[in-house]
Amino acid sequence: MEKKWWHDKVIYQVYPKSFNDSNGDGIGDLPGIIEKLDYLAELGIDIIWLSPVYSSPMEDNGYDIADYYAIGEQFGTMADMDKLIAEAKKRDIGIMMDLVINHSSDQHQWFKESKKSKDNPKRDWYIWKDPAENGGPPTNWRSVFGGSAWTFDQQTEQYYLHTFAEEQPDLNWENQELRQELYKMVNWWLDKGLAGFRVDAISFIKKGEYKNLTPDGEDGLAEIHSLTANKEGILAYLNELNQETFSNYKIVTVAEIYPDKSERMKEFVGEGGPFDFIFDFRHTDLVMRPDSNWMREKEWNLMKLKKIFNQIQQTYDEDSRVALFLENHDQPRCLNKYLAEENINRYSAKMLAAVFMLMRGVPFIYQGQEIGMTNVKYESIEDYNDAASIGKYKMALENGHQEDEVLKAVWNRSRDNSRTPMQWDDSKNAGFSSAEPWLKVNSNYKDINVKNVLADPDSLYYFYQDLIRLRKESGYSKNLIDGKYEEILEKNQDFMAYLRIKDDKKIMVIANFRDENIELELNYKLKKLILSNYPDSKERLKSDRDKIKYNFRPFETLVLE
C-alpha cells in the first residue's frame, strides 16, 4: 500500500455537548467549538472528530438521530456547521463527523412510519418480529445498555430490535431501499467537504440467527455483542457502503469494529477493505469488564497490557494503520483506568501519553485528556446522565445489589467520567458555561484546567504538543509514522518498551510503570535523548560505548535514538 495522506495525522475528539457553551444554556454547541479552534490548532492536531450534532431527542446524547439532514437545535444551525468546517479549514483542520447508521432515534420519521402498521412501506426498514411462543421477546438478547434488546409495540403486537436503548431501534440493512437512502445521506454530507467519518457501532448492522442462547448473566439474558458483531455477510454491506460513498471522495474513515478474531480485522481495513482503519478495543477491554459483569473490578497488570498492545500492533502489518487511543466518550479517563489513584501525577500522565502516541497508528486525543482530566464521583445516581450507567444501575438493584456497591461500580465505569464539562479555567462552571451545565463539572476544575496548563511550560499539554511535533515535524517522523514496531523487554515486569525502526535508524520508547526508582541496563548504543518526562534526564543519562545504564525514577519515560 502506498503512503496515504492521513498516515501522519493526529485526531482530536470533541464531545460537543461538553466542550464549550457559547450562549449560556448550559450545553456545549458549534459556535463554542469555533471559539476554541485556535486552542486546538495550537496543540497541533489535524482533524476533529465531532461526536454527533444531528437533530436528536438526546436519549443517548446524539447517538439517537431523528434527522440526519439537520443540526440539533441545542448545538446550533446548519449555517454554524458550515462555518465550523470553513473556519477549521482556515487553520488546516479537517472535520470528521460521526456516522450513526446501525440505528436511528425512535423519533425519526422513518421509525414513526414503520411503527404505524405491519404493511407500512417503511415497516421493513426496522427489525420487527413476532413474540416468542410465551408472548415474551423473540430472543433472550441483552441490549448493550442493559435489559432486553426487544421492545413490544402494543398497536401492531410485534417486537422491534434495539442493540442499544429502546429509543434507538436498529435499522434493517437487509432492506435495499433503506441502504440506498443512507448512502444518499452520506454523500450529501461528504459533498460539504468533510475530512471523513468515524463510523459508529457498525459491527452490528448484520444480525445473526434469531435464536436464544445460553444466558451469561444474572438477568437470564445473553450478551448481544457476541451474537451480532461482525456476522457473516457484513462485508457485503460494508463494501457496498464504501463503493457508493467513501471511495468517491478524498476522505478518511475509521470504524468502531469489535474484533472477534484478529485475523478477520484485516478484511475490514486497508487495500480493498471498506474502511481506512479501525478502533481495536482489546486494550480497553482488558481493563473494563463486559456488560454482563460490569460491576466486578477487573484484574489486569502491566504484563497483560504490554502483550495486548503488542498484539494490536502486530495485527496491522507495516502498511496498514490502527487508531491509537486511551480515551473516548464511552471510556473512563485513562489516568484512572491505567494508574492507581495515588499515582496520578504529571510524570505518570506524560508516561501514558508518550507510550500510546508513539506507536504505529493514528493517535486520537479525547477532549480534556491533554490537560489531565480525571474521573468524577457523583454522590447520587440522580447526578448521572449516561443511559448505560442508569440502565445498568437499575438492573443491578433489581438483581439485589446494595445501592452503595452499585454506585461504586458506576464511579469506575460510567461513561459520564469522560463527559463532564471541559475545564477551561478556575472560574464558575470551569469556564465551560455561564449557566449551570447539563452535567456537573468535576470538582477538581480549580487545579486541572486549560488556563493552568497553558501557563505552565512543563505541563501535560505542552508534552502532548511535543509528542505531536515529534511525530510530524522532526527528523524522527519517518520512524514514528512508518517505522516498524518491535516490542522489547517483553519479560520485564516494570517497564514497557518498544522500538520504532526505519532503515538503519532506531528509536526506543521506554517507560517505568512503577512508582519507584529502578536501575536498568540496556544493550544498546545511545545516540541521543530525544524526549523525557523529567527535566534533567539528559544530565543523568550516561552511556558506555554500547551499553545504557540508567536509574529510572518513578514513571520516568525516555525516547531515545
Which positions lie near Ca ion, rule CB under 5 A?
21, 23, 25, 27, 29
63: partner contacted, choices Ca ion, ligand TEU, none (Cβ within 5-8 A by kind): ligand TEU
Q: How far is the CB of 424 from Ca ion (least distance, A)?
A: 14
Q: How far is the CB of 179 from ligand TEU (least distance, A)?
A: 18
330: partner contacted, choices Ca ion, ligand TEU, none (Cβ within 5-8 A by kind): ligand TEU
Nearer to Ca ion among residue 29 and residue 482 (C-beta): 29
386: partner contacted, choices Ca ion, ligand TEU, none (Cβ within 5-8 A by kind): none
25: partner contacted, choices ligand TEU, Ca ion, none (Cβ within 5-8 A by kind): Ca ion
CA distance 462 to 456: 8
460-473 and 346-357 are packed helices; what angle lies between their axes, rounded to 10 degrees? 20
Nearer to Ca ion among residue 57 and residue 193 (C-beta): 57
CA distance 146 to 400: 15
| Site membership for ligand TEU, residue 359 (CB under 6 A) | no
CA distance 383 to 146: 19
The grid coordinates of residue 76 equal 446550533
The grid coordinates of residue 558 equal 525516555
Nearer to ligand TEU among residue 417 and residue 429 (C-beta): 417
| Site membership for ligand TEU, residue 285 (CB under 6 A) | no
CA distance 108 to 112: 6
Site for ligand TEU in 205-224 (CB under 6 A): none
Write down the residue that cell numbers 499515582 correspond to.
343
- Write the DSSP string, 336-366: HHHS-GGG-SHHHHHHHHHHHHTSSSEEEEE
Nearer to ligand TEU among residue 54 and residue 309 (C-beta): 54
Nearer to ligand TEU among residue 144 and residue 322 (C-beta): 144
Nearer to ligand TEU among residue 352 and residue 410 (C-beta): 410
| Site membership for ligand TEU, residue 388 (CB under 6 A) | yes
Nearer to Ca ion among residue 73 and residue 383 (C-beta): 73
**Residue among 8, 113, 216, 330 that touches ligand TEU (CB under 6 A):** 330
Which of 310, 217, 234, 369 minimizes the C-alpha distance to 499? 310
Q: How far is the CB of 171 from Ca ion (least distance, A)?
A: 30
| Site membership for ligand TEU, residue 201 (CB under 6 A) | yes
The H or E element spanning position 87 is helix 78-90
**Residue among 200, 370, 482, 556 that touches ligand TEU (CB under 6 A):** 200
Nearer to ligand TEU among residue 22 and residue 284 (C-beta): 284
Q: How far is the CB of 113 from ligand TEU (least distance, A)?
A: 21
CA distance 460 to 86: 29
Q: How many residues bind ligand TEU (CB under 6 A)?
A: 11
Q: How far is the CB of 387 from ligand TEU (least distance, A)?
A: 7
Q: Please return the burial class of 317, using the count of CB atoms within 10 Å of its CB with bins 0-12, 13-18 and 19+.
A: exposed
Q: Is residue 301 within 8 Å of residue 308, measured between CB atoms? A: no
Eight-class DSSP state of 440: P
Catalytic residue (one of 60, 64, 200, 291): 200
Our answer to whether residue 539 is catalytic in this structure is: no
Nearer to ligand TEU among residue 283 and residue 506 (C-beta): 283
The H or E element spanning position 259 is none
CA distance 43 to 250: 25
The SS3 assignment for 235 reads helix
The H or E element spanning position 366 is strand 362-366
Site for ligand TEU in 84-103 (CB under 6 A): 100
- What is the longest distance spanned by two Cα atoms in the chain? 81
The grid coordinates of residue 426 equal 478556575
Our answer to whether residue 382 is catalytic in this structure is: no
Q: Is residue 12 within 8 Å of residue 48, measured between CB atoms? A: yes
Q: How far is the CB of 19 from Ca ion (least distance, A)?
A: 10
100: partner contacted, choices Ca ion, ligand TEU, none (Cβ within 5-8 A by kind): ligand TEU
| Site membership for ligand TEU, residue 60 (CB under 6 A) | yes
Q: How far is the CB of 243 from ligand TEU (least distance, A)?
A: 24
| Site membership for ligand TEU, residue 164 (CB under 6 A) | yes
| Site membership for ligand TEU, residue 277 (CB under 6 A) | no
Lay out the site mask for ligand TEU across 138-157 (x = CB under 6 A, - = otherwise): ------x-------------
The SS3 assignment for 187 reads helix
Nearer to ligand TEU among residue 408 and residue 502 (C-beta): 408
Catalytic residue (one of 46, 60, 256, 466): 256
Q: How far is the CB of 477 from ligand TEU (least distance, A)?
A: 31
Residues with Cβ within 8 Å of 247's Cβ and at least 6 positions away in sequence, in order, are: none
59 to 107, 145, 168, 294: CA distances (angstroms): 10, 12, 8, 21
The grid coordinates of residue 17 equal 455537548
Q: How far is the CB of 33 from ligand TEU (least distance, A)?
A: 18
CA distance 14 to 52: 10
The SS3 assignment for 98 reads strand
| Site membership for ligand TEU, residue 327 (CB under 6 A) | no
User: What CA dihedral angle connects 105, 106, 110 and 115, to 10 degrees?
Assistant: 160
Write down the residue that cell numbers 505518570 correspond to.
348
**Residue among 12, 15, 63, 555 that touches ligand TEU (CB under 6 A):** 63
Q: How far is the CB of 256 from ligand TEU (least distance, A)?
A: 6
Q: Is residue 363 within 8 Å of residue 325, measured between CB atoms? A: yes
Known catalytic residues are: 200, 256
The site for ligand TEU (CB under 6 A) is made up of 60, 63, 100, 144, 164, 200-201, 256, 329-330, 388
